[in-house]
Each structure stands twice: as structure tokens, then as C-alpha cells.
Amino acid sequence: MIGGVVFFTSISGALSSILTEQDASNAAMSEKMLFLHKLQTQYRISPGLSQQIKHALNYDNKTTMVGLDDFVNSLPQHLSMDVTLAIHAKVFHHHPLMKRLKNKRLLSFLGQRLRPQFNYAGTYVYR
């Protein structure tokens, strides 16, 4: 019973920290949108450019998983493996490199370490 209480406490703590971070990131996002609106009115930025900025900000906001590491680490080992495998299921099942690695523990490790990245057309990724 004590174990159950400790487990429940740790899970609820991790979830509450994630929700707090989510709120903070939403507030930061709305602040950025306000600033963009100011820029639009003050410097007459073209609608196309402002649309691109909005798209970039939205993408960053969606893909930022600040509390993911803490949350996954707070789970029991078998659950943390399943969670990371579920998050990147599509990549792990269909990507040729991942399909060839076939080690569940390794895939779970990679799942915790992989970070999303976005590159716009024309930019140099490596040079």
C-alpha cells in the first residue's frame, strides 16, 4: 500500500509539473503572438511573412517537450520503455535504420534522446 501511495504521489507530481510547464509555454506563446501583432502594425510586415513566423512559432511550441525527460524517468522502467516506444512508434516501425536495430531497450533509450528539429527549405543543415 505504501508503495502504491509513493507511486501515485510521484506520478501526480510529475503530471502537475508538466501541466505547469504547459501553462508557462502557452503564456510565452501568446506573448510572442502579441509581439508579432505589434511588429505587424508598427513595421507593416507582409501577411506572407507574418504567416511564416506564426507557422514557425506554432511548430516550436508544439514540438517543445520540456518535461518529457523528467516524466519518463519518473515512471517505472517497463512503463518508461513502453511510453517512449509509443511516442516514436511510427519512426521505430517504419524507418529503415530503426527497423534494423531491433533492440527494444536501445530503441527506448533512443526514444528518450531524440529531439525534434525543423529546417526550412534552402537552409544548410551541415556545411
Partner 1 sequence: MLIVTSGTNCFTAPKYHNQIFGVVTGMNTKASFNENTLQHFGYEDSIINHLLLIKDIENHEWNDFDLDKRTQTSMLSKRFFTVQCIKSTESLSLNWPDIDIMKRDFKGAARQFIKIQIAQTQILLSAMMTMVRNFDKKKNILTDYFMPEDTENENMLRRNQLAAKDYLKD
Q: Which is nearer to partner 1, 71 or 107 (CB)?
A: 107
CB of residue 67 to partner 1, shortest distance in Å: 18
Q: Where do contacts with partner 1 occur on this chain (CB under 8 A)?
A: 88, 90-91, 94-98, 100-103, 105-106, 109-110, 113-127
For partner 1, which is the closer residue by CB, 11 or 57?
A: 57
To the nearest whole angstrom, how small is the minimum distance from the Cβ of residue 103 to partner 1?
A: 4
**Residue closest to 14 by CA, chosen among 81, 85, 67, 77:** 67
Separation between Cα atoms, residue 127 and residue 125, nearest integer Å: 7
Residues 112 and 84: beta-carbon distance below 8 Å: yes
**Distance in Å, CB of 100 to partner 1, minimum:** 6
All three cell numbers of 27, joined, read 503564456
Contact predicate 40/50, CB 8 Å:
yes
